[in-house]
């Protein structure tokens, strides 16, 4: 979070969430997957709130086993942030009070959930169960589960943009089932805990969050296109390239997630994303090529074996619910987000992308 781009994002998040965030005075937040893409931004946002808003700082406990996250977090010097190297599928022993819990650990990139299918299931399911038990024990004020837009599967086009009420079109045994079905069951487990024990559970279904902080070897589409493009290599588009997604910039998404975490809307589910620009993957690659501006080209390729087949053909969120109930409003359009992401990769990895200072 040391780049100027990320610092601007964190300032933007802290400003947008300030009215709700006062409630974090002196509180402790436990996050699983704190060294991942979203987790890292969450921690950056909490630090920014400590710097700019909270008189009594909040504390953060991050739990990560670094299966895909970066160990550099362990060098953290901030006294309010504690990083624990542990597997969330194992029972937790936390001695201190915990007020807020975020279950963000997971294998979010299709490349990695194909590589680690059982870990994907266990982290989502056993991780949720362990954290719900902790929420009960600590009498937590709020519990946020990271589900996914993948729970909708390959949607019937009549239901795109997809509302939270759409029940999904998902295979229980297909190549993506370890991810999709474990997220679906985690939602069920959370809702049952809410109904039986009154745990203040909220669920978010993120739709293709992107931006600064996604590791170059994450294998999701943004880092793949940008890092290959910056090196002058072709941007590989799977299949026909007409499959669509609607991307949401990280700073908007984190603001949305925090709005949900800090709300009193227990037992509710929210899509979090940006509904304004659903576009095909070839069109996305072309936009990137324009912004990278070094003559890199777009190439349509067969689906590689490392990528789980059967991908959804369309995806775009209906965000009416979170807009109306929590005042969420995405502010960064796709072109601006692409520019910011490219600038971040150059700033964060100057040697790798041969950036002249």
Contacting residues toward ligand NAD, per CB under 6 A: 32-33, 35-39, 63-69, 87-89, 104-109, 123, 127, 146, 148-149, 206, 208-209
For residue 356, the minimal CB distance to ligand NAD (Å) is 30
- How far, in Å, are 146, 161, 288, 331, 339 from residue 335 at the CA level? 26, 21, 9, 12, 6
Of 44 and 206, CB closest to ligand NAD: 206
53 or 281: whose CB is closer to ligand NAD?
281
Q: Which residues contact 309 (CB under 8 A, 6 or more apart)?
A: 174, 175, 303
Q: How far is the CB of 25 from ligand NAD (least distance, A)?
A: 26
- Cα 212 to Cα 284: distance, rounded to the nearest angstrom: 17
Min dist. Cβ of residue 185 to ligand NAD (A): 13
| Axis crossing angle, helix 37-52 with helix 4-21, rounded to the nearest 10 | 70
SS3 call for 83: strand
Q: Minimum distance from CB of 112 to ligand NAD (Å)?
A: 7
Q: Measured between alpha carbons, how far is 85 from 83 in angstroms, rounded to an integer? A: 7
Nearer to ligand NAD, 54 or 102 (CB): 102
Record the tokens describing residue 34, joined without a space.
């704190």
| Residue 314 φ/ψ, nearest 5 degrees | -135, 150
Catalytic hit among 179, 219, 328, 345: 179
The tokens for 69 are 């996250």
- We find the least distance from the C-beta atom of residue 127 to ligand NAD, in angstroms, to be 6
> Is 97 in a helix, a strand, or coil?
coil
Burial of 56 (0-12, 13-18, 19+ CB in 10 A): exposed
Q: Nearer Cβ to ligand NAD, position 29 or 296?
A: 29
C-beta separation of 36 from 70 below 8 A: no
Closer to ligand NAD by CB, 32 or 50: give it. Answer: 32
Tokens standing for residue 86: 């542990």
In Å, how far from its chain's centre is CA 42?
Answer: 10
Give the nearest residue (CB) to ligand NAD: 36
Residue 85 three-state SS: strand
Nearer to ligand NAD, 37 or 328 (CB): 37
Shortest Cβ 88–ligand NAD spacing (Å): 4
In terms of Cα–Cα distance, which of 248, 276, 271, 109 is closest to 179? 109
- Cα–Cα distance, 75 to 85 (Å, whole number): 12
**For residues 10 and 105, which CB has a smaller minimum distance to ligand NAD in the complex?**
105
- Distance in Å, CB of 110 to ligand NAD, minimum: 11
197 is catalytic: no
* Catalytic residue IDs: 179
């Amino acid at each position: 979070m040391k780049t100027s781009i990320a610092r601007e994002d964190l300032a933007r998040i802290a400003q947008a969430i300030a009215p709700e965030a006062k409630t974090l005075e002196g509180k402790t937040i436990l996050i699983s997957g704190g060294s991942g893409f979203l987790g890292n931004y969450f921690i950056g946002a909490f630090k920014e709130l400590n710097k700019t808003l909270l008189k009594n700082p909040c504390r953060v406990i991050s739990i990560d086993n670094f299966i895909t996250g970066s160990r550099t977090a362990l060098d953290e010097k901030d006294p309010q942030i504690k990083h624990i190297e542990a597997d969330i599928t194992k029972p937790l022993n936390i001695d201190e009070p915990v007020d807020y819990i975020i279950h963000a650990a997971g294998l979010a990139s299709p490349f990695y959930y194909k590589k680690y299918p059982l870990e994907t299931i266990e982290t989502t399911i056993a991780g949720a169960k362990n954290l719900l038990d902790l929420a009960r024990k600590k009498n937590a004020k709020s519990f946020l589960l990271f589900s996914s837009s993948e729970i909708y599967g390959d949607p019937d086009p009549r239901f795109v943009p997809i509302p939270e009420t759409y029940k999904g079109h998902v295979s229980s045994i297909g190549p993506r089932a370890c991810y999709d079905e474990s997220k679906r069951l985690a939602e069920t487990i959370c809702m049952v805990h809410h109904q039986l024990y009154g745990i203040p559970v909220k669920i978010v279904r993120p739709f293709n969050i992107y931006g600064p902080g996604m590791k170059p070897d994450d294998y999701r589409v943004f880092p793949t296109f940008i890092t290959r493009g910056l090196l002058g290599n072709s941007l590989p588009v799977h299949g026909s390239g007409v499959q669509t997604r609607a991307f949401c910039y990280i700073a908007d998404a984190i603001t949305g997630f925090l709005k949900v975490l800090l709300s009193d809307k227990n037992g509710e589910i929210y899509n979090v994303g940006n509904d304004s620009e659903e576009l095909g993957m070839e069109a996305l690659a072309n936009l990137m090529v324009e912004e990278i501006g070094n003559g890199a080209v777009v190439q349509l390729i067969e689906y590689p074996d490392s990528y789980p087949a059967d991908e959804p053909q369309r995806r775009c969120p209906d965000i009416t619910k979170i807009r109306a109930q929590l005042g969420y409003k995405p502010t960064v359009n796709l072109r601006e987000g692409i520019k910011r992401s490219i600038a971040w990769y150059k700033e964060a990895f100057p040697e790798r992308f041969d950036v002249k200072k």
